[in-house]
Structure 1
Amino acid sequence: MRTVVIGGTGHIGTYLVPSLVRAGHDTVVISRGSRRPYREDPLWREVEMVTCDRDAAESDGAFGTLVAGLRADAVVDLTCFTVEQARQLVEALDGQHVVHTGSIWSYGPSTVVPMSEASPKHPYGDYGVAKLAIERYLMGQDRVRASVVHPGHISGPGWMPIGPAGNVDPAVVDGLRADGSCVLPDRGLETIQHIHAEDVAGLHQACLEQPDAAAGESFNSVCTEALTLRGYAELVARHFGHEPRLELVPWAEFVTRVPAEDAHTTLEHIGRAPMFSMDKARTLLGFVPQHSVTDTVLEAIDAWVDAQQG
């Protein structure tokens, strides 16, 4: 199958593109050419690379035409953030299978957990609202076959994962490494649900390779377990040889103890309290994430620490 991957050098594409080549797919990557994959792999030499600034091409109405001209059987769109972007792509295609990367933020706050793909969606914030609008557009049109993959907090070697305080402040990990100390809001029982980038890539590929089962469907893409902030902090402290020394403070105090931007990021994550089910992907596609949540976050943190020390 000839497959075009839009934005294929980022978190997901780093794993997806070599895997597609390994599976025998004729693979084309469209990217701005400004970033290298997070992991080296000799299979990248077999990938057809197309350099394109998507925003600029879309402003000229040329992006969809570019993708259509590559004559793909399927398109994986990892960098679509508005309905207008999705529409320009879809209207240039004719019957292909499009796999779109959504987000669990399209659901809004978790209610009855674990949340399934059939759970009501009430997103807030521009990002989540836009991702839901794209999903509804793709599922409502009939020009292409569409599948949507909704990742949780994508993690992996090469970048700091969402940390135990629900943000990406490196000082949180530094404190846990140094002596097991960490400040958390309230009782530290809000959840965050990570997913290894390799497993996100794997679910995209499962959709591509089983189009009859995946077309017209959306799928959660998370580890099979979520972490509470407290459990996460304890995990990291003990990983670095310390007993946890957690300070649980009311939210009003937490926001005075951390930088304002980090407090905002924390609230964005714990306000949704994500906890989702992976049953649908297993039932329809036979897909089960290979990375546990503990291995996912610790691998990412260890790689980040090594990079700082190296």
Structure 2
Amino acid sequence: MGICEGRVAIVTGAGNGLGKAYALGLAAEGARLVVNDLGVGTHGEAGATKGAAEQVVEEIRAAGGEAVANTDDVADWDAGKRMVDLAIASFGRLDAVVNNAGFVRDRMFFTCSPEEWDAVIRVHLRGHFCTSRHAAEYWRAESKAGRPVDARIVNTTSGAGLQGSVGQSAYSTAKGGIAALTLVQAAELARIGVTANALAPNARTRMTDTGAFAMAAEEGAFDVFAPENMAPLVAYLVSAQSRGVTGQVFELKGGQVFLSQGWTDSPSHDKGARFEADEMDAIVRALVASREPAKPVYGAG
């Protein structure tokens, strides 16, 4: 009996890569699933992987699990409600939303077009909002009706969002926003029995294989960047075992799991009075020199 036995989850972007690994891992742990995938390519091109959600559902069913497919756009407001309604109609409840869907439009900031910026922000940030917002409304109604809620939101951030990535300004901005959204969700939804956490995976996906961040597997060695390495933490966070773990950002790489510290206060200087502009340089440089070094921006020389 798996740790997600009896749980019902929606996994977005679950037709390939990380999302597929999450869906298969959750099903193996006993969860019943709504497998969402729009069938777009790495850059959001329509129809590139049409039928991916259905194929994952077939694989889950062949292994004895329960799943239904959904091919909606995660950033569509009404589609978010359809996914929640599908879970309830199919399985009688909803316990978790795993937000994973997304794509990239890699550009240096000075060449990024408004259309590329908007497309990336939409699929990641709005995409994390729509389904979770409708799920939260359902869980709030359950709580108000006196029915116990023990639900989960699992978001997908990135090292690009936590520390920045050269050539990925839109993607980094979206993923940083998701980390902040997770903190707010955790604070606001705790009272109704919902936890919210985020993952920053280090794994080989269609997005990493398109550019400078390719993560090739070494023959005969532990595949550090296999998407399947990320699935056990997702299953844990969806399960009842993770009750009370909320507002956290986890980074994973191979067999390592890190807990991100996030933004926090570091060295300070208190003059006790208003600063003069010409004294700020010495103070700022002293503060920068005394702080713990930040992780470098990905791709920075």
Normalising by structure 2, we get a TM-score of 0.50
Equivalent residue runs for 1:51-62 within 5 Å: 51-55=70-74, 57-59=76-78, 62=81
Are 2:161 and 2:172, in contact at CA under 8 Å, matched by a contact in 1? no
Range moving further from structure 2, 78-87 or 34-43: 34-43
In 1, are the aligned partners of 2:195 and 2:246 still within 8 Å (CA)? yes
Which residue of 1 is the match for residue 111 of structure 2? none
The size of the alignment, in residue pairs, is: 193
Question: Which of residues 228, 235, 243 in structure 2 aligns to 1:198?
Answer: 228
Seen in structure 2, the aligned counterparts of structure 1 residues 149 and 197 have a Cα distance that, compared at 3 Å, is: farther
2: CA distance, partners of 1:67 / 1:53: 11
1:73 aligns with 2:88: no
**CA distance in structure 2 between the partners assigned to 1:140 and 1:26 by the alignment:** 27
Determine the C-alpha separation between the residues in 2 that align with 1:60 and 1:20: 23
The answer to whether 1:91 aligns with 2:137 is yes
> Under a length normalisation based on structure 1, what TM-score does the superposition of the two structures give?
0.49
Identity %: 16
Give the counterpart of 1:150 among 175, 199, 219. 199
Residue 13 (structure 1) aligns with = 19
- 1:99 CA drift (Å): 2.0
Distance 1:25 1:19 in 2: 9
Unaligned runs of 5+ in 1: 111-122, 174-193, 226-266, 274-310
- The two structures, once aligned, show a CA RMSD in angstroms of 4.0
| Residues 10 and 34 in structure 2, CA contact (< 8 A), matched pair in contact too | yes
1: CA distance, partners of 2:33 / 2:80: 24
| CA displacement 1:84-126 (0-9 Å, x = unmatched) | 434344233333222222222232259xxxxxxxxxxxx9942
SS of the aligned residue for 2:203 comes to strand
Q: Determine if contact 1:102/1:135 at 8 Å carries over to the other structure.
A: no
2:8 to 3, 14, 28: 3
CA distance in 1, matches of 2:59, 2:78: 35
- How far does residue 53 in structure 1 lie from its aligned partner after superposition? 1.2
Gap change, CA 1:161 and 1:31, over 3 Å in 2: closer
- Residue of structure 2 equivalent to 1:250: none
Determine if contact 1:102/1:148 at 8 Å carries over to the other structure: no
Q: Deviations over 1:207-228 (max 9, x none)?
A: 1232225334332222368xxx
Deviations 1:237-277 (A, max 9, x none): xxxxxxxxxxxxxxxxxxxxxxxxxxxxxx97323x9xxxx
Give 1:204 deviation, angstroms.
Answer: 0.4
1: CA distance between counterparts of 2:171 and 2:30? Answer: 40
Q: How does 1:226-241 map to 2 (within 5 A)?
A: none
Of residues 187, 195, 198 in structure 2, which corresponds to 1:140? Answer: 187
Residue segments in structure 2 that go unaligned for 5+ positions in a row: 1-5, 40-49, 102-122, 141-148, 217-223, 257-295
Counterpart residue identity of residue 24, structure 2:
P
